């Protein structure tokens, strides 16, 4: 890479770019690459080949020429497009399928009562014999959260970073899944899965052990960046392997799929080291307790907080189920470095002065059930907020959470705490690349084709624009939808079809049993409540034997609206009388008659439209 | 004002400050003040006194010395504290009450199905004979929206700026309120309301005709800033009357209540003129239709858009009910300057080319029913989005609306529109003062006491901190709650009590009939839906005659869950059998038995907790 201009004036040639390296690198890039033993006995299809130990070429590799009419490679995203969440991408070639990530998303406001959302897996179940495995880029929920639901349907091996596998094991226990075939992936360790040669490349993100995945096939290389930002001074010292990306670009990449989350933000993300400094400043002169809320999965941040506590002679109390979970997994795996005796039990807090304590807690998003929220509202069984406490939100509100976060901040201030948040100090940084980092990635990899992923439509669109502004021809950029099938070879790329895809709603134990009708009813009930009308009728004569009785919920406070309820009963009685005179005997007709009369009456009286549920009992 | 330092190192003396004016101003500040005729015949208590035409003193006025044990002035905020919305402040002195503003707020996420929220007016109704009138600072909903609900309970005169009164008239028509006593207030026109001398002072805000209100009494002056920012180059040329604030500060202000909305933002708001430039840039090279979404109440912005359309030879089509409303009122009152023939009817759009058109529309907050949202989702009857349209969001999402706005932006991009929003360009500015503007206000007015208003607790708290950082003693700053009573004189201020205050929920025609029980039921129904169990029983023997029948809504999609429903029926049947054997005959006991058995069964099967509604019909 000699050309460091990120915005070339004229269009560049993509992919097959003449090299002009004035300083050819001599170090073999993959010198640490070694063979990974495939210790998964049942995964018969996963062949392992030793990574090639050869020098990085000074010239670009010749492009493999596809046979005319030869097999193309298919890319099928089943999740992660037009949304931030439930990432799942398929690479299909020569009747073999590789899955990259299998995550969940959280329900939007319309999905009342829904716990989580997972991708539709119909296509995977149908084609299960083709699947060679799932490769995980990193351990975030939107990349691993749907794996238990996949494994309940089909048995496939999981390849992932150590930390992601550790977090998955906790999930498998909860879901009572046994004997899952898992294998760790590492940077510099290439392995074969069927026709796919998988090369994990170390990146930096808000969780350690994060990888981009290069998939080498005999038709070309697919690079999936995973989630990344470029942190030149990461907490764990594991710098992103930019040389690998440069090397791939040099050799030629057929297709890149890249993270679009922060494409609307100019510049570059700040390093976790800036966050460290801000936190140290906050700790420096604090004589009171310090409470830090952050994402439990942001292990870099946890490490910084641990280190800062150590530096300022404070013990750390960990609080909140998911925080305890992650802490346990990360410490056990050695992903986190926790000095002996630094973390103490909540029950031993009394033995320390306020200025000797840090509480590390969940609830940075204002989630009502999280530890910090319960402390701030006085509903936590064991902890409360003391006047003078310093509370640090080391996280930004995820879009949609602004109001709940604000509510917690207000409550904390009211309890006399000092609160540091958001823009008041550099106490958080994003895990996703901003514009200049994305430009660097495009510039290093210079793929022939590009799919923006991991974003709402606005982000995908802006990322496509960014790629084109760097010189990529429009016809090589594919702004896709979940389920679309992109077929590629060296000559052209084309969307050729669509497979079943979409959100599957999980509510309690039910997977997919809550659909649009149930949600519509929930919305209706939420808006205006419900009125049940029960009438007992004689089967033969269609005469009222008992009732009508009326019960309402979520409509009006009945004790203060007795008159209204009595009037409503009379309205129903009248409808029934009229229908009896007209000789109506069909239950369905009777129900409609009751509903229509009551609906008009209630709207006239209240301008509300409760759900009306007429029930006829036969005797 | 000779001291321009906004952050003095040592504490200043507040209120009674020795003047050191090195340049005494000679112009009488109130030279345009004139008598306002009280043309409200029924408002017998409103006396009008001519504004005093005297020179501004070179020295500070002597402080009125209160009689020992003399009457104090009471400040009672009934809304607007610990919230942004439903502003309502009382000033009570010598058995007379002045109301400043009477606004509504919009429901938060917990308030399912609620339309609007108004302040509890119990105290006003109880003390109605003391009330001399309502003075309105400006025409925004959170300052005028609850007036119709007040007037339905008590008859009081309304004093407000021309535009606010115009907007109120529309509301009065909708609420069928006739013969409301209204009188216009103007800058430089002081008038007497009972013991209160009212002095409106021109400010700048996101709506024209906005005022701060100085209330002069023989015990001292209360200044309520209303909502303001400092725009030195406002669209209508009506610069904020900073001299008046300086003059008040010079004469001595007992208490200031000031807008806290933007206290967390450093610096100063940008001028509407910057927005004008950004919009002109956007219009400059655009060859397609332009659609601009903004707040209908932001008449300055509407004026800019009108002017820009004119400049670039485009006709303007106005779209959305509230936009049409405001346009009609503002043009009629001459608050807005609309060139003849510029605004055309939607039906005449076809006569113009795309590059001759601007659509001005509601929906900048992604409200599902607003014009822009319906256009973006293809549900608008008359308008749709064309590929190439330029859509400008000339508004920021209000906290909580981020996701709905984002949804509309995504849809617009998908329809092929270009979208300019938010941080991409300076196409919006706030109407509320940021830190440096607030400091200027404190510095000019230098009141003895201060109440931060118009903010969530975090804002009130930060505004109190800001005042103290400028040298105000802590004991003179009152971070209050709605309903608290602050009693003041020149010697001390103290919170002395509490009156009834709180949110009253409006749902359709119902005012206050939806309370916590109804909301709790709606939330329960929204989360997990409902299961109704009906049994018809013989009255005398407590034997089942018909049923149990089970109907569910919002729980599971019944057609796919027939087995579950049948099992549930059997569970209820068993409960009934057991209770019959045990001789249970109490309806309440029977219902509990049905509920408990079914609840456990459903939770075990689904991990959901629908509302269970057992109904027993007697025959």
With b meaning 16 or more CB within 10 Å and e meaning fewer, what string describes B231-270? beebbbebebbbbbbbbbbbebbbbbbbbbbbbbbeebbb
What DSSP letter does each residue of A36-94 carry, written as one string?
PP---TT-TT----PPP--PPPSSPPPPPPPPTTPPPEEEEEEESBSBSS--EEEEEET
Q: Which residue has the higher pLDDT, A393 or A60?
A: A393
| pLDDT tens track for B305-322 | 999 999 999 999 999 888
Statement: residue A59 has pLDDT above 90: no
Average pLDDT along chain B: 86
pLDDT > 70: what percent of chain A? 88
pTM: 0.82
Mean pLDDT calculated for residue range B145-161: 96
| Whether B518 and A557 lie within 8 Å, measured CB to CB | yes
- A96-105, A416-425, A514-523, B527-536, range with the lowest pLDDT: A416-425
| Interface mutation vs chain A, best among B385, B418, B536, most A CBs within 10 Å | B536
pLDDT > 90: what percent of chain A? 65
CA–CA separation, A382 and B169 (whole Å): 55
| pLDDT tens track for B129-144 | 999 999 999 999 999 9
Burial class of residue A434 in the structure, from the number of CB atoms within 10 Å of its CB (0-12 exposed, 13-18 middle, 19+ buried): buried
A618 contacts in B (CB within 8 Å)? 546
CA–CA separation, A445 and B57 (whole Å): 74
Residue A142 counted as an annotated binding residue: yes
What DSSP letter does each residue of A279-335 carry, written as one string?
HHHHHHT--S-EEEE--TT-HHHHHHHHHHHHHTT-EEEEESHHHHHHHHHHHHTTS
Q: Which residue has the higher pLDDT, B565 or A145?
A: A145
Residue of A nearest to B403 (CA): A400
pLDDT at B61: 47
Residue of A nearest to B549 (CA): A617
Q: Which sign does the torsion angle of CA A377, A379, A380, A381 carry? A: positive
Nearest alpha-carbon partner for B547 in B576, B526, B515, B523: B576
B109 contacts in A (CB within 8 Å)? 109, 403
Statement: residue B177 has pLDDT above 50: yes
User: Per-residue confidence at B14, pLDDT binned at 50, 70, 90?
Assistant: very low
Statement: residue A129 has pLDDT above 90: yes
Q: Measured between CB atoms, does A457 come within 8 Å of chain B?
A: yes
Statement: residue A192 has pLDDT above 50: yes
Question: Both tokens of residue B1?
Answer: 């004002």
| pLDDT tens track for A134-155 | 999 999 999 999 999 999 999 9
CA–CA separation, B146 and B143 (whole Å): 8
Q: Measured between CB atoms, does A368 come within 8 Å of chain B?
A: no
pLDDT at B247: 94
Q: Is the ipTM of this complex over 0.85?
A: no
Q: According to the per-residue pLDDT averaged within each range, which of A25-29, A537-541, B2-6, B239-243 is highest? A: B239-243
Backbone φ, ψ for residue B4 (5° rounding) = -95, 0
Q: Which residue has the higher pLDDT, B232 or A423?
A: B232
Task: Give percent helix, percent strand, percent coil of chain B, each to the nearest 5.
Answer: 30, 25, 45
| Whether A513 and B617 lie within 8 Å, measured CB to CB | no
The distance of A551 to chain B (nearest Cα, Å) reads 9
CA–CA separation, B380 and B170 (whole Å): 25
pLDDT at A540: 77
The distance of A598 to chain B (nearest Cα, Å) reads 16
| Interface mutation vs chain B, best among A82, A533, A553, A615, most B CBs within 10 Å | A553
CA–CA separation, A227 and A453 (whole Å): 10
Burial class of residue B537 in the structure, from the number of CB atoms within 10 Å of its CB (0-12 exposed, 13-18 middle, 19+ buried): buried
Q: Measured between CB atoms, does A525 come within 8 Å of chain B?
A: yes
pLDDT at B222: 98
Question: Both tokens of residue B544?
Answer: 């089942």
A545 contacts in B (CB within 8 Å)? 619
- A7-21, A212-226, A511-525, range with the lowest pLDDT: A7-21
User: Per-residue confidence at A538, pLDDT binned at 50, 70, 90?
Assistant: confident
User: Per-residue confidence at B18, pLDDT binned at 50, 70, 90?
Assistant: very low
With b meaning 16 or more CB within 10 Å and e meaning fewer, what string describes A125-163? eebeebbbbbbbbbbbbbbbbbbbbbbeeeebbbbbbbb
Mean pLDDT calculated for residue range B197-206: 96
DSSP state, B541? T
Strand partners, B183: B159
| Whether A514 and B556 lie within 8 Å, measured CB to CB | yes
User: Per-residue confidence at B103, pLDDT binned at 50, 70, 90?
Assistant: very high
Q: For chain B, positions 261-300, list CB contacts with chain A under 8 A.
A: 264
Nearest to B456 among A406, A456, A619 (CB): A406
Residue of B nearest to A415 (CA): B457
Residue A298 counted as an annotated binding residue: yes
B536 contacts in A (CB within 8 Å)? 536, 546, 617, 619
Nearest alpha-carbon partner for A261 in A433, A140, A89, A100: A433
pLDDT at B477: 97
User: Per-residue confidence at B188, pLDDT binned at 50, 70, 90?
Assistant: confident
Residue B583 counted as an annotated binding residue: no
Nearest alpha-carbon partner for A199 in A40, A71, A30, A79: A30
Question: CB within 8 A of A125, min separation 6: which ones?
Answer: A153, A154
CA–CA separation, A542 and A573 (whole Å): 14
Backbone φ, ψ for residue A606 (5° rounding) = -125, -10
Q: Which domains does chain A have, with CATH numbers?
A: 76-267+431-507 (3.60.15.10), 272-424 (3.40.50.10710), 529-618 (3.10.20.580)
Nearest to A518 among B423, B524, B557 (CB): B557
**Positions of E strands within A328-470:** 343-344, 357-361, 390-393, 418-420, 449-453
Nearest alpha-carbon partner for B93 in B73, B69, B70: B73
Residue of B nearest to A458 (CA): B410
The distance of A256 to chain B (nearest Cα, Å) reads 22
| pLDDT tens track for A367-399 | 888 899 999 999 888 899 999 999 999 998 888
The distance of A203 to chain B (nearest Cα, Å) reads 28
Strand partners, A511: A506
| pLDDT tens track for B253-305 | 999 999 999 999 989 998 888 899 999 999 998 999 999 999 998 999 999 99
| Whether B400 and A402 lie within 8 Å, measured CB to CB | yes
| pLDDT tens track for B34-57 | 333 333 433 333 333 444 434 433
pLDDT > 70: what percent of chain B? 88
Nearest alpha-carbon partner for B128 in B100, B108, B151: B151
CB A75 within 8 A of CB A486: yes
Statement: residue A579 has pLDDT above 90: no
CA B564 vs. chain centroid, Å, equals: 48
Cα-trace Rg, chain A: 29
Q: Measured between CB atoms, does B561 come within 8 Å of chain A?
A: yes
Q: Measured between CB atoms, does A65 come within 8 Å of chain B?
A: no
Nearest to A556 among B461, B510, B528 (CB): B510
pLDDT at B468: 96
Q: Measured between CB atoms, does A498 come within 8 Å of chain B?
A: no
| Whether A607 and B508 lie within 8 Å, measured CB to CB | yes
Question: Both tokens of residue B13?
Answer: 């003396």
CA–CA separation, B305 and B415 (whole Å): 24
Mean pLDDT calculated for residue range B556-578: 85
| Interface mutation vs chain A, best among B175, B263, B403, B460, most A CBs within 10 Å | B403
CA–CA separation, A372 and A296 (whole Å): 13
Average pLDDT along chain A: 86
Backbone φ, ψ for residue B126 (5° rounding) = -60, -35
The torsion region of residue B176 among left (phi > 0), alpha (psi -120 to 50) and beta comes to left
| Whether B400 and A403 lie within 8 Å, measured CB to CB | yes
Question: CB within 8 A of B31, min separation 6: which ones?
Answer: B53
| Interface mutation vs chain A, best among B108, B604, B617, most A CBs within 10 Å | B617
pLDDT at A18: 35
Q: Measured between CB atoms, does A543 come within 8 Å of chain B?
A: no
Nearest alpha-carbon partner for A270 in A433, A116, A404: A433
Mean pLDDT calculated for residue range A539-545: 77
pLDDT at A561: 76
CA B442 vs. chain centroid, Å, equals: 24
DSSP state, B36? P
Nearest to A402 among B402, B556, B607 (CB): B402
Backbone φ, ψ for residue B612 (5° rounding) = -110, 125
The distance of B551 to chain A (nearest Cα, Å) reads 9
CB A392 within 8 A of CB A311: no
Task: Name the residues of A annotated as catalytic.
Answer: 259, 432
pLDDT at A67: 57
Mean pLDDT calculated for residue range B96-109: 95
Statement: residue B15 has pLDDT above 60: no
pLDDT at A48: 37
The distance of A65 to chain B (nearest Cα, Å) reads 35
pLDDT at A560: 67
pLDDT at B424: 60
CA–CA separation, A36 and A32 (whole Å): 12
CB pairs under 8 A between A and B: 195
User: Per-residue confidence at A50, pLDDT binned at 50, 70, 90?
Assistant: very low
Statement: residue A472 has pLDDT above 50: yes
Query: Which residue out of B216, B224, B300, B432 is catalytically annotated?
Result: B432
Backbone φ, ψ for residue A370 (5° rounding) = -75, 160
Cα-trace Rg, chain B: 30
Q: Measured between CB atoms, does A387 come within 8 Å of chain B?
A: no
The distance of A222 to chain B (nearest Cα, Å) reads 26
pLDDT at B559: 67
Question: CB within 8 A of A36, min separation 6: which ones?
Answer: A48, A183, A185, A186, A189, A190, A191
Q: Angle of helix B242-251 relative to helix B435-445, nearest 10 degrees?
A: 40
| Whether A414 and B618 lie within 8 Å, measured CB to CB | no
Question: Both tokens of residue A547?
Answer: 């009732």
pLDDT at A191: 97
The distance of A557 to chain B (nearest Cα, Å) reads 6
Residue A454 counted as an annotated binding residue: yes
pLDDT at A65: 55
Question: Both tokens of residue B154?
Answer: 């008590």
Residue A459 counted as an annotated binding residue: no
| Interface mutation vs chain B, best among A105, A397, A418, A458, most B CBs within 10 Å | A458
């Amino acid at each position: 890479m000699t050309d460091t201009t990120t915005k070339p004036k004229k269009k560049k040639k993509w992919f097959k770019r003449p090299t002009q390296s004035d300083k050819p690198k001599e170090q073999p890039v993959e010198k640490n690459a070694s063979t990974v033993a495939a210790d998964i006995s049942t995964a018969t299809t996963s062949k392992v080949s030793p990574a090639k130990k050869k020098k990085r070429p000074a010239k670009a590799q010749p492009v493999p020429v596809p046979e005319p009419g030869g097999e193309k490679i298919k890319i099928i995203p089943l999740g992660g497009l037009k949304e931030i969440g439930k990432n799942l991408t398929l690479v299909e070639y020569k009747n073999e399928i590789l899955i990259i990530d299998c995550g969940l998303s959280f329900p939007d406001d319309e999905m009342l009562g829904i716990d989580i959302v997972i991708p539709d897996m119909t296509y995977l179940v149908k084609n299960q014999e083709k699947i060679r495995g799932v490769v995980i880029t990193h351990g975030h929920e939107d990349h691993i959260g749907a794996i238990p639901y996949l494994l309940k349907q089909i048995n496939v091996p999981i390849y992932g970073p150590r930390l992601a596998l550790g977090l998955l094991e906790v999930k498998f226990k909860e879901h009572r899944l046994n004997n899952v075939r898992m294998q760790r992936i590492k940077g510099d360790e290439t392995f074969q899965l069927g026709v796919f040669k998988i090369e994990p490349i170390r990146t930096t993100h808000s969780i350690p052990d994060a990888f981009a995945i290069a998939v080498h096939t005999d038709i070309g290389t697919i690079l999936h960046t995973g989630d990344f930002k470029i942190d030149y001074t990461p907490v764990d010292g594991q710098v992103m392997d930019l040389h690998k990306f440069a090397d791939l670009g040099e050799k030629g990449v057929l297709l890149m799929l890249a993270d679009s989350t922060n494409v609307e933000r100019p510049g570059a993300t700040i390093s976790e080291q800036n966050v460290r400094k801000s936190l140290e400043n906050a700790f420096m002169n604090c004589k009171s307790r310090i409470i830090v809320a952050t994402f439990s999965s942001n292990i870099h941040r946890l490490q910084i907080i641990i280190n800062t506590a150590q530096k300022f002679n404070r013990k750390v109390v960990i609080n909140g189920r998911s925080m305890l979970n992650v802490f346990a997994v990360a410490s056990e795996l050695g992903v986190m470095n926790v000095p002996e005796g630094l973390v103490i039990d909540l029950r031993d807090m009394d033995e320390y002065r306020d200025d000797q304590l840090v509480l590390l807690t969940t609830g940075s998003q204002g989630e009502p059930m999280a530890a910090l929220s319960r402390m701030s509202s006085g509903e936590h069984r064991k902890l409360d907020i003391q006047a003078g406490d310093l509370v640090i939100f080391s996280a930004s509100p995820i879009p949609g959470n602004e109001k709940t976060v604000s509510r917690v901040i207000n409550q904390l201030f009211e309890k006399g705490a000092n609160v540091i948040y958001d823009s008041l100090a550099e106490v958080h940084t994003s895990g996703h690349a901003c514009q200049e980092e994305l430009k660097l990635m495009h510039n290093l990899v210079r793929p022939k084709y590009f799919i923006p992923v991991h974003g709402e439509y606005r982000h995908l669109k802006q990322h496509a624009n960014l790629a084109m502004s760097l010189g990529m021809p429009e016809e090589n950029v594919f702004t896709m939808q979940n389920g679309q099938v992109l077929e590629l070879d060296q000559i052209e790329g084309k969307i050729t079809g669509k497979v079943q895809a979409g959100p599957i709603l999980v509510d309690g134990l039910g997977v997919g049993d809550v659909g649009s009708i149930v949600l519509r009813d929930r919305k209706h009930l939420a808006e205006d409540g419900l009125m049940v009308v029960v009438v007992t009728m004689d089967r033969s004569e269609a005469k009222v034997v008992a009732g009508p009785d009326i019960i309402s919920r979520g409509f009006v406070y009945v004790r203060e609206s007795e008159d209204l309820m009595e009037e409503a009963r009379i309205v129903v009685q009248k409808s029934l009388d009229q229908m009896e005179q007209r000789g109506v005997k069909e239950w369905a007709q009777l129900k409609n008659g009751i509903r229509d009369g009551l609906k008009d009456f209630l709207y006239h009286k209240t301008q509300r439209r409760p759900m009306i549920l007429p029930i006829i009992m036969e005797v």
